[in-house]
Amino acid sequence: MNPRIYYTKPSITELEVRYATDAAANGWGERCYEYICRFEELFKQHLGVKYAIATSSCTGALHMGMAALGIGPGDEVIMADTNWIATAAPIVHLAAKPVFVDILPDTWCINPELAEQAITPQTKAIIAVHLYGNLCDMDRLLAIGEKHGIPVIEDAAEAIGSQWHGKRAGSMGRFGAFSFHGTKTLTTGEGGMFVTNDSDIYEKVLTLSNHGRSRSQTKQFWPDMIGFKYKMSNIQAAIGCAQMERIDELIFGKRRIFRYYLKQLSGLPIKMNPEPKGTVNGYWMPTIVVDEEVPFNRNKLLAAFKADDIDGRVFFWPLSMQPMFEEKPKNAVSYGLHKRAINLPTYHDLTDAEMERVVCHVSNQWRQ
């Protein structure tokens, strides 16, 4: 019987186990933040940013960052319709409104022209989500933000390893947010990171992240405002430190897997994650999108995967299709693309033989 192929899983070595064990055994008292501080420093160096705050999730990082920007009731935040709800939820939690615009057909990321058209006096931010490792057009979005005086936020949850013309994803906007969920290229199990080069936002988020207690406050147990509890644990950060020491290996592993799929699936009526000139794609989730004029039964492919003990993962639905939001069928790319797309399995110890099993099922969709 063939071994099961998961859609993704983390790469954990003896280094992660050793660091986590040390944190569990010794990371208390004066050492309770030791791995957290070290993880933040390593991540800052990798990204080339001034400030980083380890968080319990990317969602928490986004929530605090938008709160620090003053986003609240009646405000609007523009984002792509094709996304996971984790990007939209913090907007709603702040009593603001997510405004969903359509995506580009090649990168599957936010359409900058439509984002600019959606700007109103209530617009307080644009979120650039680098979907599946694919990069938003940051030059265009940052120019739009500067023109209208609107901050651009980077949701780089899926973009470890991606670079836009020499700048790492997450380092270009007013602030960036990352995810270290167990499915991500770099993992701490659950967890995230808030990053910025803006000292004012950094101080606000640092205060918000500790129940509103400013680090300049001398009174014990005296919060300066109502804050959040989105802190990462020292044990999680210990795993993160080990992962950061292996970051180049982890990114290379994702790119190796993508290159195999790209080569073996060439000639089929599909498109995969793009890597435009001057960019580097971290390829978090290799994805196929079947050409529009070509028949494709996604459920048939998923059933074939399941029969061979291969996990399948569907493309993100448009958020405006979800019952808590208003439908926006005019977002024609978002509404049409998800039916023709599927994510392929990806993790660091996938063998060529295992990937070939995946390739065979995809290729069989167009064999007579």
Q: Give the pair of three-digit tokens for residue 34.
A: 């030791």
Show the domains of the chain with their CATH numbers: 14-245 (3.40.640.10), 247-366 (3.90.1150.10)
pLDDT at position 218: 85
Find out whether 287 and 132 touch, Cβ atoms under 8 Å: yes
Find out whether 77 and 66 touch, Cβ atoms under 8 Å: yes
Q: What crossing angle do the helices spanning 85-93 and 58-68 adopt, rounded to 10°?
A: 40
Cβ atoms within 10 Å of 340's Cβ, excluding its own: 18
pLDDT at position 6: 96
Q: Quick one: how far is CA 314 from the chain centroid? A: 16
Q: Where are the alpha helices (DSSP H) in the chain?
A: 14-26, 34-47, 58-68, 85-93, 112-117, 138-148, 199-208, 234-245, 247-264, 298-307, 332-337, 352-363
Closest to 145 in 3D by CA, of 108, 177, 173: 173
Task: Find where tokens 């709160």 sit.
Answer: 67
Distance CA 208, CA 217 (A): 13
Instruction: Give the Å distances, CA to CA, from 70 to 63, 204, 205.
Output: 11, 10, 11
Q: What stretches in the chain show pLDDT beneath 50?
A: 368
Q: Give the pair of three-digit tokens for residue 128.
A: 């650039």
pLDDT at position 216: 86
pLDDT tens per residue across span 142-165 = 999 999 999 999 999 999 999 999
Closest to 239 in 3D by CA, of 301, 202, 315, 186: 186
Find out whether 40 and 61 touch, Cβ atoms under 8 Å: no
Find out whether 177 and 155 touch, Cβ atoms under 8 Å: yes
Distance CA 168, CA 161 (A): 7
Sign of CA dihedral 360, 361, 366, 368: positive
